[in-house]
């Protein structure tokens, strides 16, 4: 049993074959998934998708790329959406200094609103961080002193310093298909030492297809390939990897029900 902890299924990339995709995921023993909201204006679309499939949940949030589109975002707005039973996480949110599609001030304001919502709801904060390791760690450490909140650093590509600082805050970590790339030895070296009980896997589909599917559209059925690489890194069996990463998901996302496994078309 595998869980894909981060998918983006509501866009055009999957509009023509979503039912077939879900069938392929089931055939690959991917039994649960979390589909991500990256802009509040798209929440209804994301939420409707999660309602359609019993074994799928969703988040609510605005990606740092999109922070400029929600300049007045408030914790209360996020919290109101989070009361829905299908919403199990806050985000994806964070800091991205690689592209800077939104300026730093907008990203910081956006991130703080999400942190506050996660603190008040105790729903996990789903974090995106790129080229922002020091600011990310500084913000999370400062905010954590104001009140604890659960968190997940998704699509782990961070450096060793950020990993160690977030580990001290009890953060969970998620590995994507990047960990299978030949060029990602530094990520594999760090992943070896990430806390066993706080590590999970994802596709981040339709992006970042793992080897041997690089260059193709990614989908949840490919998440076992990420799991296989994690098993190699950690020296685990495939069965133990599936059990460990699945347990991590449900330990963090406690609003999700692991007994639900069948999809509804």
Question: Which residues, other chains included, contact 245 with Cβ-Cβ below 8 Å and sequence gap of 6+?
Answer: 2, 3, 5, 199, 200, 201, 227, 230
Quick one: CA torsion of 110, 134, 164, 188, rounded to 10 degrees?
90
**Residue in the structure block whose two tokens are 């390791």:** 133
**Mean pLDDT score, 47-75:** 95
Cα–Cα distance measured from residue 263 to residue 251, given in angstroms and rounded to the nearest whole number: 22
Domain locations in the chain as residue ranges = 2-252
pLDDT score at 260: 83
Q: How far apart are the first and last CA of the chain?
A: 20
**Mean pLDDT score, 15-36:** 96
CA distances from 213 to 19, 27, 181 (A): 20, 17, 11
- Average the pLDDT over each of 66-75, 162-171, 243-252 and give the range with the smallest value: 66-75
pLDDT digits 0-9 by tens, 191-222: 999 999 999 999 999 999 999 999 999 999 99
CB distance 212 to 201 below 8 Å? no
Q: Which fold has domain 2-252?
A: TIM Barrel (3.20.20)
Cα–Cα distance measured from residue 159 to residue 200, given in angstroms and rounded to the nearest whole number: 18
Both tokens assigned to 136 = 């990310």
HEC letters along the chain:
CEEEEEECCCCHHHCCCHHHHHHHHHHCCEEEEEECCCCHHHHHHHHHHHHHCCCEEEEECCCHHHHHHCCCCCHHHHHHHHCCCCEEEEEEEEEECCCCCCCHHHHHHHHHHHHHHHHHHCCCEEEEEECCHHHHHHHHHHHHHCCCCCEEECCCCCCHHHHHHHHHCCCEEEECHHHHCCCCHHHHHHHCCCCHHHEEECCCECCCCCCCCCCCCCCHHHHHHHHHHHHHHHCCCHHHHHHHHHHHHHHHCCCCCCCCCCCCC
pLDDT digits 0-9 by tens, 103-118: 999 999 999 999 999 9
116 Cα distance to chain centroid? 18
pLDDT score at 100: 87
pLDDT score at 264: 42
**Residue in the structure block whose two tokens are 């679309």:** 45
pLDDT score at 243: 98
């Amino acid at each position: 049993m595998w869980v894909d902890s981060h998918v983006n299924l509501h866009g055009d990339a999957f509009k023509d074959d979503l039912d077939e995709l879900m069938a392929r995921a089931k055939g690959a023993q991917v039994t649960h998934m979390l589909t991500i909201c990256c802009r509040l204006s798209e929440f209804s679309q994301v939420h409707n998708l999660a309602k359609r499939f019993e074994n799928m949940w969703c988040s609510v949030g605005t990606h740092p790329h999109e922070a400029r589109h929600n300049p007045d975002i408030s914790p209360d707005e996020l919290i109101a959406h989070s009361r829905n039973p299908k919403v199990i996480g806050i985000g994806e949110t964070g800091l991205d200094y690689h592209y800077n599609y939104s300026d730093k001030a907008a990203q910081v304001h956006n991130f703080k609103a999400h942190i506050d919502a996660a603190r008040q709801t105790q729903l996990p904060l789903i974090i995106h961080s790129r080229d922002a390791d020091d600011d990310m760690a500084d913000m999370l450490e400062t905010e954590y002193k104001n009140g604890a909140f659960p968190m997940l650093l998704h699509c782990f590509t961070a450096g060793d310093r950020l990993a160690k600082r977030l580990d001290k805050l009890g953060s969970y970590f998620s590995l994507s298909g990047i960990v299978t790339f030949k060029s990602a030895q530094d990520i594999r070296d760090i992943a070896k030492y990430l806390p066993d009980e706080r590590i999970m896997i994802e596709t981040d589909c339709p992006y970042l297809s793992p080897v041997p599917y690089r260059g193709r559209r990614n989908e949840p059925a490919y998440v076992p390939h990420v799991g296989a690489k994690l098993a190699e890194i950690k020296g685990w069996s495939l069965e133990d990897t599936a059990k460990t990463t699945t347990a991590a998901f449900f330990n963090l996302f406690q609003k999700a029900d692991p007994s639900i496994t069948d999809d509804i078309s």
